[in-house]
Chains A and B, each alone.
Chain A
Amino acid sequence: QLQLQESGPGLVKPSETLSLTCTVSGGSISSSSYYWGWIRQPPGKGLEWIGSIYYSGSTYYNPSLKSRVTISVDTSKNQFSLKLSSVTAADTAVYYCARDIVVVVAATGHDAFDIWGQGTMVTVSS
């Protein structure tokens, strides 16, 4: 059974870079059927998609975060990672990694985030 697990520092100082890794177990990150994404949720607020990556390294980023975000993949370790630079208190959130599956419905591909990690809380504070 596929599982995702986020890891990384729980506390980051303002202006520094937030770095998280998602380890995929029970399956290969190199499957052609999936993208892999990062989503975050500030305390008490809604969900925000950060970006997604394909095993080949193709990336898609939320335009509102694009200038500060880098998502990368390491297929040898079955991991993908998030870097968010120049963080502020507004970046304090639970960060989730998730599998973005593409399902064909009526001959059309449809994305959905079907498997999620448990989430990791990251606080930005000095």
Chain B
Amino acid sequence: DIQLTQSPSFLSASVGDRVTITCRASQGISSYLAWYQQKPGKAPKLLIYAASTLQSGVPSRFSGSGSGTEFTLTISSLQPEDFATYYCQQLNSYPSFTFGPGTKVDIK
């Protein structure tokens, strides 16, 4: 099975900061990676798919990059509504669409 790790697991940042979250896969997954944002008590929200394609309606301050085994999610200027937990998910192929363990972004 393909395993995903995320770093950092916790991030403390201020409004306006540039934030980068890394997701690493245990084996190559090409660009079959998505990023989600989850706020407490809410369902996850799709931000990025195919590693770098912004989902419709998602602000352009979010961007994704990477291919193979290393991927990044970048928030160019952190906004108050961006404080949340972020998950990557590999969708390389069935039978398993693994999620990463998550990165919590908190207010400094």
Contacts and interface: CB of A to CB of B under 8 A. Distances in A.
Interface of A: 37, 39, 46-49, 52, 60-63, 66, 96, 98, 103, 105, 108, 110-114, 116-119
Contacts, number: 75
Contacts of A119: 43
7 contacts: A46-B87, A46-B99, A47-B89, A47-B102, A48-B99, A105-B50, A111-B91
B7 interface: no
Given A46-B99, A62-B95, A103-B49, A114 B1 contact: no
Contacts of A110: 31-32, 49-50, 53, 91
A62 B95 CA distance: 6
Q: Which of A37, A47, A119 has the most CB of B within 10 A?
A: A47
Given A49-B98, A114-B55, A63 B1 contact: yes
Given A39-B44, A103-B53, A112-B34, 13 more contacts: A46-B102, A47-B87, A49-B96, A49-B97, A52-B94, A60-B95, A105-B49, A105-B50, A110-B49, A110-B53, A112-B49, A113-B46, A113-B89
A113 to B, nearest CB: 6
A47 B99 contact: yes
Contacts of A39: 44
Shortest 3 CB-CB contacts between residues of A and residues of B: A112-B49, A116-B43, A60-B94
Contacts of B1: 63
